[in-house]
Amino acid sequence: MGVGDFKMADFTGGVKAERFDDLEAGFGGRLYPGIGEDENTLRWGFIRKVYGILSVQILLTTLVAGSVVYFEGLRTFFLQTPGLVLFLAFVPLLVMCPLYVYHQSHPVNLILLGLFTVTMSLSVGISSSMAPAPIVLEALLLTTLVVVALTGYTYWAAKRGMDFNFLGPMLFTSLLVLIGFGFMQIFFPLGSMSQTIYGGLSALVFSGYLVYDTDQLIKRYTYDQFILASVALYLDILNLFIAILQILNSSRSE
């Protein structure tokens, strides 16, 4: 074996070792410029934990919401009890308060998270049951595409030093406007065109929130805030789905 062969073997071995280190660091190398190796490894572990919890939430939501849509008796029951539907819409807001307080207390945090997820899933199922099945499927596919694209873009941008923390105040202000507009529509319905516009604005806002919260997950959430991080991303995805569903349903009715 010559000197050149030895150098080539050493070089290729070094490249393979570096790639292996990148995989060990989290299946994606450095999250963003300037992060230390130990911090990078810990942060990737935290990210995998959050996405693991989020995956369970999405699966549970699919099962619960799908049951409401698929079973005629269950769907009819909810449609005939508007008081219960209104109550279920407010339950997640009530659960979020103790969930925020006890997000580090095991197993109380998981119990509250399960209750929050189930009640949110019922609301999503009720909303989906009011739209034709093809529209629901289209909304689901579009939501998946948007979530994958925006999540991938945020990781790509973070790796190149971009920061989306500046979006926080603008998104919060936009959310307040959406809430006010939503209440106005309850008391003064403005027709299908206004619903389409509202759905479009909601989709933009929650797409922005998905980028913002993913950026927070990469850089700013502390390691004991995995419940809060999963809830934030879960709400972004669900609200984005509802917004897209509203756009498609309103466009069809027109």
7-22 pLDDT, tens digit per residue, is: 334 434 444 444 434 4
Cα–Cα distance for residue pair 169/98, rounded to 1 Å: 25
Provide the residue ranges of all domains of the chain, joining segments of one domain with +. Answer: 31-253
Tell me how many degrees the CA angle 56-219-20 measures, rounded to the nearest 5: 80
Cα–Cα distance for residue pair 239/88, rounded to 1 Å: 16
What does each C-alpha distance from 108 to 47, 50, 231, 235 come to in angstroms?
Answer: 22, 17, 15, 20
Cα–Cα distance for residue pair 41/214, rounded to 1 Å: 17
Contact present, 209 and 236 (Cβ < 8 Å): yes
Neighbours of 224 (CB within 10 A): 10
pLDDT of 110-159, one tens digit each? 999 999 999 999 989 888 888 888 888 999 999 999 999 999 999 999 99
Q: DSSP per residue over 146-205, as a string?
A: HHHHHHHHHHHHHHTT---TTHHHHHHHHHHHHHHHHHHHHHS---HHHHHHHHHHHHHH
Residue 134: what pLDDT? 86
Cα–Cα distance for residue pair 222/127, rounded to 1 Å: 34
Burial 139-153 (b: 16+ CB within 10 A, else e): bbebbeebbeebbee
DSSP code of residue 105: S
Average pLDDT over residues 221-240: 94
Quote the tokens at residue 20. Answer: 């292996």
CA atoms within 13 A on the CB side of 63: 8
Quote the tokens at residue 237. Answer: 């995805």
Cα–Cα distance for residue pair 171/188, rounded to 1 Å: 25
* H-helix segments, 25-81: 37-70, 72-79
Contact present, 141 and 185 (Cβ < 8 Å): no
Quote the tokens at residue 1. Answer: 């074996």
Residue type, position 136, single letter: V
How far is C-alpha 158 from the chain's CA centre? 18
Place 73 in a pLDDT band, splitting at 50, 70 and 90.
confident
Q: What percent of the chain has pLDDT over 70?
A: 86
pLDDT at 44 over 90: yes
